[in-house]
Amino acid sequence: MAVAGRPGWLRSPRFDLSLIVGVLALALVMGGAAWARPELFGALLLVDLWLLAYPHVAATFLKISLTREDRRRWRFLMIGLPPLVLLGTGGLAWAGGATALFTAYYFWQSWHYTRQSYGIARAYGWASGGADRWAEVVVYTFPLWGLLSRAHAAPAEFYGAAIVWPPVPGWAVWIAATAAMGALFGWGARRLRAHARGDHRGGPAGLFVLSHVLITAVAYLWIEEITYGWFFLNIWHNAQYSLFLWANQARRFAGAQGPERRLAARVFAAERFGLYAGLCLIVGGGFYGALGAGVALIPAIGLPTLLIVHLSVNFHHYLIDAAIWRPRPASATGTAALG
């Protein structure tokens, strides 16, 4: 996915800076506003859900449904898997109530977000000439440090619901912190040596890794309140995913011929980002709006049932991403393990 004549960039300086710096700034501004002014959290959460979260889930389905080839390949994920996920989520709620649901969600989303960073970091690595293992270690160790720190502090609630933590002693947090900082310094030393040799291809990759470190440190280590910390990461994840998927698919369908690929080529056309973004808004908003309305029509429905349905969609999305984003470093397409 490297740009011809621009080694190190996934698409272009303008796009990549939007993906890295723009998305980071959006997350810091929105998350910071919610943290500084708690009375704004509800309104900002609605903005995140309707303009970022729901469209980002819709983007996944656009990726796997616009060609006959994709629909055939991913048919089970689209049709067979949802009832199974709903059944499993319902079983989890029956066994442990809202506490089990929110605990599973928090830990699974932490892994999901980290895997996204890993995939994008690997895409940048291959755009720079090869996988950067040090960068990948940094990408994993900082969220691990953050998650262990959260578990050690063991906040009683997440999103207003009780959450269960494994016992994590302070020494485990210090080991994780040492590993994360050691990896960061090791990676930074390698980047500085490369820069001194005149190799500047890793600049965009380095900027992405630093953005990952910053948002992770803010969300897990600096913000003490767990829900506000999650909000920073959620905004970052949602906006970043939609942009990366568009760039990936625009490259895949560039110059595509034939009626079966024509629709996808139009939706993901390089010069038609507005069409893609608008379609994600419509599909995501329409789906979640219909989902809420449908659940409301069922008699005696309460928040737990609505929660089960919404989290089932989230968990289904996590499973789809884990399947459709496979590591293919040799092709340098930027599709490395984003899920």
- d(CA 267, CA 246) in angstroms, rounded, equals 9
DSSP SS3 for 92: helix
Q: What is the pLDDT of residue 243?
A: 96
Q: What is the pLDDT of residue 132?
A: 80
H or E segment at 162? strand 161-162
Tell me the mean pLDDT in the region 175-183.
Answer: 97
Helices 273-297 + 226-252 axis angle, to 10: 130
Q: How confident is the model at residue 142 (pLDDT cuts 50, 70, 90)?
A: very high
Q: How confident is the model at residue 191 (pLDDT cuts 50, 70, 90)?
A: confident
Neighbours of 299 (CB within 10 A): 4
Cα dihedral sign, 250-253-259-260: negative
* pTM: predicted TM-score of the whole model, two decimal places: 0.90
Asked if 204 and 244 count as a contact pair (C-beta separation under 8 A), the reply is: no
Query: Over the range 303-335, which residues count as b (16 or more CB within 10 Å of their CB) and which as e?
Result: eeeebbbbbbbbbbbbbbbeebbeeebeebebb
- d(CA 242, CA 128) in angstroms, rounded, equals 22
Percent share of the chain, pLDDT over 70: 89
Q: What is the pLDDT of residue 331?
A: 41
Q: Which long-range contacts (CB under 8 A, 24 or more apart) does 172-177 make?
A: 172/148, 173/145, 173/148, 173/149, 176/141, 176/144, 176/145, 176/148, 176/149, 177/145, 177/149
Tell me the mean pLDDT in the region 128-156.
Answer: 92
Give the pair of three-digit tokens for residue 233: 């990461």
Q: What is the pLDDT of residue 335?
A: 42
Give the N- to C-terminal CA distance of the chain in Å, as an integer.
Answer: 17
pLDDT higher than threshold 80 for residue 255? no
For the CA atoms of the chain, what is the radius of gyration? Answer: 20
Tell me the mean pLDDT in the region 1-11.
Answer: 65
Tell me the mean pLDDT in the region 108-137.
Answer: 90
Q: How confident is the model at residue 106 (pLDDT cuts 50, 70, 90)?
A: very high
Q: What is the pLDDT of residue 338?
A: 45
H or E segment at 110? helix 81-127
- d(CA 268, CA 50) in angstroms, rounded, equals 21
Q: How confident is the model at residue 6 (pLDDT cuts 50, 70, 90)?
A: low
Q: What tens digit of pLDDT does each residue of 68-80 get? A: 899 999 999 999 9
- d(CA 269, CA 261) in angstroms, rounded, equals 12
Least confident of 40-49, 192-201, 296-305: 296-305
Q: What is the mean pLDDT of the chain?
A: 88
Q: At which residue do the structure tokens 């767990």 appear?
A: 226
Q: What is the pLDDT of residue 254?
A: 82
Q: What is the pLDDT of residue 329?
A: 46
Q: At which residue do the structure tokens 């969609």 appear?
A: 313
Q: DSSP state, 6? A: B
Burial class (CB in 10 A: 0-12, 13-18, 19+), 250: buried
pLDDT higher than threshold 60 for residue 1? no
Asked if 149 and 220 count as a contact pair (C-beta separation under 8 A), the reply is: yes
Q: What is the pLDDT of residue 272?
A: 83
Q: Tell me how far the alpha carbon of residue 290 is from its chain's centroid.
A: 24
